Structure 1
Amino acid sequence: MGQTRSLDMPLLSPGMVALLAAQFFSALADNAVLIAAIAIVKSQGLPHLVPLLQESFVFPFILLAAFVGQVADGFPKARVMLAANMLKLMGALAMLAGASPLAAYGWIGVGAAIYSPAKYGILSQMFGTSVLVRANGMMEGSTIVAILLGVVLGGWLADHSLAWAFAGVVSAYGLAAFANLFIPSLPAENAGAHFHPWRLIRQFAASLSVLFKNQDSRFSLLGTSVFWGSGTTLRLMLFAWVPAALLITDNQTPANLMGAVSIGIVLGAAAAAVWISLASVNRALLGGLLLGPAILALVFVHALSMAAALMVAIGFCGGLFVVPLNALLQQRGHETIGAGNALAVQNFAENIAMLLFVGMYSAAVMAGISVTTTVTGFGLILLAVVGALTALRLKRD
């Protein structure tokens, strides 16, 4: 493995502006195209396919988990990001041309799986340790704003014109690819990397084993996986819950409520930064324990204003829960297998959880179970899972 050399670039250098722009437009398009894909299957009278859209997107993350990190390190990361954005663009164009939304969104998932390790890995090549944390914060801020705008604009455009929605998605992916051209073309961190599939799979399995044998990293992996599995399911469930509970049938309302959850996550993350440290990480369990009851409260909500407030509260609990656990995993990963390998394992575990949670929701939809019963079951399962995780953690301490 070659030595990682940092350029020690200024935080607001043109290269960083280009990187933030590429991430912003790529994340915006990722979220807008999901809303557009949901609008397509609903217009085709196939609402039961909505959960399968998310399944098709996360499946490539699981299949490619052992390989994408090696790709990110084996080639210049800016070029990896460019290639990944072009794959996403191809998927959006295929969906626009009439291809199966499931297949096209799955192809976008392939691009996203390749893109993820490269966008974070390039930061350590561009910046020294003195500004690396702030650079990561700027990247996260760009992503959060893009998610908010992506779901809101995606919902509004999908309700007015699917053609305009896809024009926006294609334009955003195109702008992301264009911005990629201005990211510094740094040398590959591991230009001599091998790509022997079985060897990579064995290395990945070893990293997975190391993290799950460590009590702190296992706790973090399980907790963040539960958060992302439940969060992804809630995003999809809103498209069935809003018409049933609020009697609103557009695509913009559930998209806006998804945005309210994101706002809550930001507020919860800010609260976690003030109230929770690695030494007091068990405080994060309070946020996790409140997620189940907050989702159960959806059963009693029939007004949009109350729904929006509850979504912010759910997001707040989630942010309070997941942010400290992410920090704990990064620290333990750095001490054991390296932060990059820890990120690959975390992505794998979280996407497995998404597949399982969304799969259960899809089964409930296919079985014709009412959305009220589904929400109740989802809240109870989440409460039981986080409760068990809490009991195991406190017993250990």
Structure 2
Amino acid sequence: MNKNETTNEAVPLFNRGLTSVALAQFFSALADNALLFAILALAIKLEYASWIDPIFQLLFVGVYVITAPFVGSFADKFDKGKVMLISNGLKLVGSLLIFSGGNPFLGYVIVGLGAALYSPAKYGILGEVSHPGNLVKANGVIEASTIAAILIGAIAGGFAADHHTTFALGMCAALYFAALIANLYIPKLPAKNIEMSWHPNTMCKNFIQSLKVLLSDIDAKVSLLGTSLFWGAGITLRFLLIAWVPYVLNVVDKTTPSILNATVAIGIVIGSGLAAKFITLEKAKLALYAGVLMGICVVIAMLIEVRPEVLADGITHNLEFWAIQQALIPIHAMLILIGIFGGVFIVPLNALLQERGRDLIGVGKAIAAQNFSENSMMLFMLVFYTLFHSLGMSPNIMGIGFGGIFAITILIIIFKTMKNK
């Protein structure tokens, strides 16, 4: 081995770069998830119709789709640490706008713009602060950090929003500021493609070409489809649980659905750790089987009968709250399983896409293409969820249908992959 070669030991997993990225991601994702529940509580305070709730997320996701041709190039043209700093700055501005009484839709769009810029830089930087042999583990760290933030953010956001909406919004702004500070400790890194053209037509053509290149590679195509379905299913499940609580339990708070969403996050943290430890890049496509089990578990969860006689009627109080949690034990168990299978599913596919993307088109462009694909799927699923919800379809029926379709779709991908192999 010559002196220029780097080993796993020479670049430890938890070096300054990865630690700073993980902390910035934790605070930023924590604020993202708390902010959603704070905004939903604000929507109730402003007397918006219940079907308006997913509209906020549609706007957020729509920003990702619109900016997809440009954000990957932006991440590759500049130091990714600075890109993350700018992104969290935009999130801070958007959250402060909502906190100060400004238009919540506009504020959430600004937060979405920051998130869209942030994502390709966040994942693209992993290959620059980690040894290739540690890439799956680094992805596991970031996914675990993200899901831990979702777990804490969902509960904290729901609880704070139930008690004081303004405080919840201020807390989110403070968390974005903490993420911005963490970004300052990321080491300065060289830009990967400073000669890139800024002409919109050129960037769009390059983006379309990047998508074509990824979809022509079987490993990249499978991972792109898999991660897109995962995040589309994830965002739909989140709003299904938010709608399921008042429909089944006759409870109108935000704490209960936030706890249910946090339960899924606990499972994903466990699944992410299992995937990082036991699944290598060479075996990444085995994770598809976990996706099938995830869909089946969603169907089972929606079929579980919760006995209404032990539940509260209306706004929960302490005693009623614990009675509700006791009645929901079977649901919590299934949600943890959904999360575990989800974590095992997403981490290897993310790592595989980054590895193939780096080799084929560059990490920044690959992540931007991934964001476009994932958020297009989220947009697609959210549109149908909003439509069915506005038509009065029960959350149970929607959940059974979406879980079944998800499992069948992953099975089709598995069979197609086996056939191509």
Same fold? TM cut 0.5: yes
Q: Percent identity?
A: 43
| Distance of 2:187 and 2:284 partners within structure 1 | 37
Which residues of 2 match residues 158-237 of structure 1 at below 5 A? 158-237=161-240
Counterpart Cα distance in 2 of 1:12 and 1:380:
39
Structure 2 unaligned runs (5+)?
1-5, 307-326
Q: 1:292 to 1:129 in 2, by over 3 A?
A: closer
Residue in structure 2 matched with residue 3 of structure 1 by the alignment = none
Distance change in 2, residues 1:63/1:22 (3 Å): same
Aligned to 2:387: 363
Contact 1:261 1:312 in 2 (8 A): yes
Q: What are structure 1's unaligned runs of at least 5 residues?
A: 1-5
Give the partner amino acid of 1:290: L
Q: Kindly provide the CA deviation profile for residues 201-223 of structure 1, in whole angstroms up to 9, marking residues without a partner as x.
A: 11111110011122222222111
- Kindly report the root-mean-square deviation, in angstroms, between the aligned alpha carbons of the 2 structures: 2.5
1:299 aligns with 2:299: no
How far does residue 279 in structure 1 lie from its aligned partner after superposition? 4.5
Task: Look up the equivalent residue of 2:303 and give its one-letter code.
Answer: V
2:288 is equivalent to residue 288 of structure 1: no
Q: Deviations over 1:295-329 (max 9, x none)?
A: 12223242311111111011122222222322332
Distance 2:280 2:80 in 1: 32
* 1-structure distance, mates of 2:49, 2:381: 20
Q: How many residues align?
A: 391
- Maintained 8 Å contact 1:36/1:165: yes
Where 1:395 maps in the other structure, the secondary structure is helix
- Code of the residue aligned with 1:147 in structure 2: it is I
Mapping of 1:256-267 within 5 angstroms?
Answer: 256-267=259-270
Q: State how far apart, in whole Å, the 1-side matches of 2:43 and 2:137 are.
A: 40
User: Is this contact kept in 1: 2:140–2:347, CA < 8 A?
Assistant: no
Aligned to 1:27: 29
Contact 1:296 1:379 (8 Å CA) reproduced:
yes
Q: What corresponds to 1:329 in structure 2?
A: 353
For residues 353 and 15 of structure 1, do their structure 2 counterparts lie closer, same or farther at Cα, with a shift above 3 Å needed? Answer: closer
Please name the residue that 2:120 is paired with. Answer: 117
The residue correspondences of 1:50-69 to structure 2 (distance < 5 A) are: 50-69=53-72
Q: CA deviation at 1:64?
A: 1.1
Question: Which residue is equivalent to 1:395?
Answer: 419
Q: TM-score scaled by structure 2?
A: 0.85
Structure-2 change in CA distance of 1:334 and 1:287 (3 Å) = same
Which region of structure 1 is more displaced relative to structure 2, 158-167 or 127-136?
Answer: 127-136
- Which residue of 61, 85, 89 maps to 1:86? 89
Question: Is contact 2:140-2:272 (8 Å) kept?
Answer: no
Question: TM-score, length-normalised on structure 1?
Answer: 0.89
d(CA) in 2 for partners of 1:113 and 1:280? Answer: 30
CA offsets per residue over residues 21-64 of structure 1, 9 Å max, x none? Answer: 32221111111101111112233242101111211111111111
**What is the match of residue 77 of structure 1?**
80
Q: How does 1:379-394 map to 2 (within 5 A)?
A: 379-394=403-418
